[in-house]
Structure 1
Amino acid sequence: MSESRATTAAPGARADGTQESAPLLEVRGVTKTFGSGRRRMTALDGVDLRIGRGQTLGLVGESGCGKSTLARVLLGLERPDAGTVRFDGSDPFALRGKELLAWRRRVQMVFQDPFASLNARMSAADLIGEPWRTHKDVVPGAKARDKRIRELLALVGLRESDAHRYPNEFSGGQRQRIGIARALALDPDLIVCDEPVSALDLSVQAQVLNVLSDLRTRLGVTYLFISHDLSVVRYISDRVTVMYLGKVVEHGDTEDVFEQPRHPYTAALLSAAPVLDTGRDPRREIELQGEIPSPFDIPSGCRFRTRCWRAEDRCATQAPPVVVRERADGAEPHTALCHFPLEAETAGA
């Protein structure tokens, strides 16, 4: 990779100045606040994001960093105060009536708790077919719907006989498979997965992740995968976006981010992840000092400076630049929002 540089290059720019193919989802400068007056909280602050067709983008960060708010904006459940959202080139917030209903078919969600997200009084078949009550033209006719339910059950690794069972008769992993089948019922282009395996045992997590990976290969579905578990994110994601207090602080190819983190916060997150290697160099363990600042009172300059061991005076007065590390293959570059980005030899030191 070439030498890093500070820039404000548009996401998706190649090293040769050309642009990658249009992404399925592109977010630019999205800001979202809640409250009013002195009790105004900035949940998202100028967020940029892009996901290519058929890709999986992992979204990570501590609780309260804005991940769920961003997911709600992308699902059309919250309207941003500023910025733009483009889904397949269109602004979903400009749609009305039938156009809006058609767009909602294209974006679905898999929830964190597979038991709380399923109605205990509905059978698996009823749960999977529930979206068709609103989108009646997707699978018209009772026979066609029965056939499609069987197909969806098979896709997520369940049996046809499971169609008439109820949520309490399934294990946690099986319930999450039902949730995935329900998300697939409308043939979406994008599925937002909000901590979809955090409530499951490790062995079951692996099974559900394999189901999601297989579905992406077979159906070409695109994922936004939100998780606190870095090992899960590394396994399933093509690219990773790291958020801190409402801002994207690092973004890049999964292996680039995990092997050569540029932002001190990312390095600290990776350092805190448990590993089996008992011979791990203790110098690579980073212990952050202090608490996460309140979103009602975000620090000036760099918002991470109050916990950063590399912070200097200008970090308190100047907003950090976007530092770009170009990729030799011309793919989307590795970016970090930092005055003093880490290099390979210092990351985690």
Structure 2
Amino acid sequence: MSDTALTGTTAPDPRGPGAAGSPPLLEVRGVTKAFGHGRRRLTALDGVDVRLMRGETLGLVGESGCGKSTLARVVLGLERPDSGTVRFDGTDPFALEGKELLAWRRRVQMVFQDPFASLNARMSAADLISEPWRTHRDIVPTAKDRERRVRELLSLVGLRESDAHRYPGEFSGGQRQRIGIARALALDPDLIVCDEPVSALDLSVQAQVLNVLSELRERLGVSYVFISHDLSVVRHVSDRVTVMYLGKVIEHGRTEDVFDRPLHPYTAALMSAAPTLDVSGQALGEEIPLRGEIPSPYAIPSGCRFRTRCWKSEARCAETAPPAVTREGAADTGADTGDRQHAALCHFPLLAGERGA
């Protein structure tokens, strides 16, 4: 790609040009969230934009402390943003109260990282899966219906109906995570936030759980926000990827574009450092070193916040915030997600043939 193929704009817009089809299920625009006061004020999210279409999986990646979990809590309605907007199916969830808020909470569920800690060891699988119906009584009103629905959900996630009366300690880690997935599905949600859902599992079990999530998306049309440090997992499950660094989205695009042709030096460094098996037959690139440690979120560097670790950094990186550069996504999976734009915040984006590009 030539230099002219990169276009500068004022901000990376995750909607992309000419977004088509149905409106997004989730749209986060300019969201900021800070904690603390005075000099000890930590900005966890700084003008974050995220867009998720129905039936889509958005991978959310970045090192610890980048703001992934805070963004997940905002999406789940557990943290109110200081500024910016959140729209879920066109509705602001933070404007809802009472029955309307309760009805909205049915539509957004979560699968946790630790499949054992997230399950009450004193409750059977049937009790764990049916627990949400104690609050949302109208979904499965009778005991007979609950028993039938529990069996259906167990079967849906690849467990036996007879497992309903077993307890978490009697299951393997992968089986426990399947119970967690079944519980998340109990309210027929539109969106499931998956926070490192396979990181505590063995590799072979990870593949099984990821296949379950993929099959459920195909069968039910559920959407996922998938948070993970494991880039190989993110590439496997995601339609699009958002890369975060110190509370800001620094790159966003379709998975194939971000992984195969990263624009931001930080993204390229993450990709190069990720352990991977060369199953494609392509040569693995040289690892790109990152200088130093992640800066303190209480003292974010001026200009480009990644400049203190970037091998391409120059004087202007410290003086001014980087502009957005966009590249039209080349990948075409045949799915209309309404988003083909590939964007990054960088003074010196990677070009074709450059190290990491």
The one-letter amino acid of 2:257's match is: D
Aligned mates of 2:112, 2:70 — CA distance in 1? 14
Asked if 1:226 is matched to 2:227, the reply is yes
Aligned mates of 2:287, 2:93 — CA distance in 1? 43
Paired position in structure 2 for 1:13 = 16
Structure 2: 5+ residue runs without aligned partners?
333-337
Aligned mates of 1:163, 1:281 — CA distance in 2? 47
Note the 1:30-179 alignment, pairs <5 A: 30-179=31-180
User: Does the Cα contact within 8 Å between 2:241 and 2:255 map onto a contact in 1?
Assistant: yes
SS at match of 2:59: strand
Write the deviation string for residues 222-281 of structure 1: whole angstroms up to 9, x where unpaired: 000000000000000000000000000101010101100000000000010113459997
Paired position in structure 2 for 1:274 = 275
User: Does the Cα contact within 8 Å between 1:325 and 1:335 map onto a contact in 2?
Assistant: yes
Asked if 1:342 is matched to 2:350, the reply is yes
Paired position in structure 1 for 2:328 = 326
Write the deviation string for residues 30-62 of structure 1: whole angstroms up to 9, x where unpaired: 000000000000100000000000000000000
Match of 1:289 among 272, 288, 291: 291
User: Does the Cα contact within 8 Å between 2:12 and 2:325 map onto a contact in 1?
Assistant: no
The one-letter amino acid of 1:180's match is: I
Write the deviation string for residues 90-126 of structure 1: whole angstroms up to 9, x where unpaired: 0000000000000000000000000000000000000
Structure 1: 5+ residue runs without aligned partners?
none
Aligned mates of 2:21, 2:311 — CA distance in 1? 36
SS at match of 1:103: helix
Aligned mates of 1:26, 1:304 — CA distance in 2? 26
Aligned mates of 2:32, 2:79 — CA distance in 1? 11
Kindly state the Cα deviation for residue 19 of structure 1 after the two structures are TM-superposed. Answer: 4.9
Aligned mates of 1:64, 1:120 — CA distance in 2? 30
- TM-score, length-scaled by structure 2: 0.94
Aligned mates of 1:195, 1:324 — CA distance in 2? 29
Aligned mates of 1:274, 1:165 — CA distance in 2? 37
Aligned mates of 2:68, 2:140 — CA distance in 1? 33
Aligned residue pairs: how many? 347
User: Does the Cα contact within 8 Å between 1:61 and 1:67 map onto a contact in 2?
Assistant: yes
The one-letter amino acid of 2:14's match is: P
User: Does the Cα contact within 8 Å between 1:261 and 1:344 map onto a contact in 2?
Assistant: no
SS at match of 2:129: helix
Asked if 1:308 is matched to 2:304, the reply is no
Query: Structure 1 pair 280/144, CA: closer, same or farther in 2 (3 Å)?
Result: closer
Write the deviation string for residues 293-338 of structure 1: whole angstroms up to 9, x where unpaired: 0000000000000000001111001111111112367843000111
Query: Percent identity, aligned pairs only?
Result: 78
Q: CA RMSD in A?
A: 1.9
Kindly state the Cα deviation for residue 285 of structure 1 after the two structures are TM-superposed. Answer: 1.2
SS at match of 1:116: coil
Query: Structure 1 pair 150/277, CA: closer, same or farther in 2 (3 Å)?
Result: closer
User: Does the Cα contact within 8 Å between 1:268 and 1:287 map onto a contact in 2?
Assistant: yes
User: Does the Cα contact within 8 Å between 1:260 and 1:347 map onto a contact in 2?
Assistant: no
Paired position in structure 2 for 1:248 = 249
Aligned mates of 2:210, 2:299 — CA distance in 1? 38
Aligned mates of 2:20, 2:116 — CA distance in 1? 43
Query: Structure 1 pair 347/89, CA: closer, same or farther in 2 (3 Å)?
Result: farther
Kindly state the Cα deviation for residue 173 of structure 1 after the two structures are TM-superposed. Answer: 0.1
Kindly state the Cα deviation for residue 11 of structure 1 after the two structures are TM-superposed. Answer: 3.1
Kindly state the Cα deviation for residue 282 of structure 1 after the two structures are TM-superposed. Answer: 8.5
SS at match of 2:106: helix
User: Does the Cα contact within 8 Å between 2:14 and 2:252 map onto a contact in 1?
Assistant: no
What stretches of structure 1 move > 6 A for 4+ residues in a row?
A: 278-283
Kindly state the Cα deviation for residue 3 of structure 1 after the two structures are TM-superposed. Answer: 1.2
User: Does the Cα contact within 8 Å between 1:264 and 1:347 map onto a contact in 2?
Assistant: no
Paired position in structure 1 for 2:184 = 183
The one-letter amino acid of 2:306's match is: F
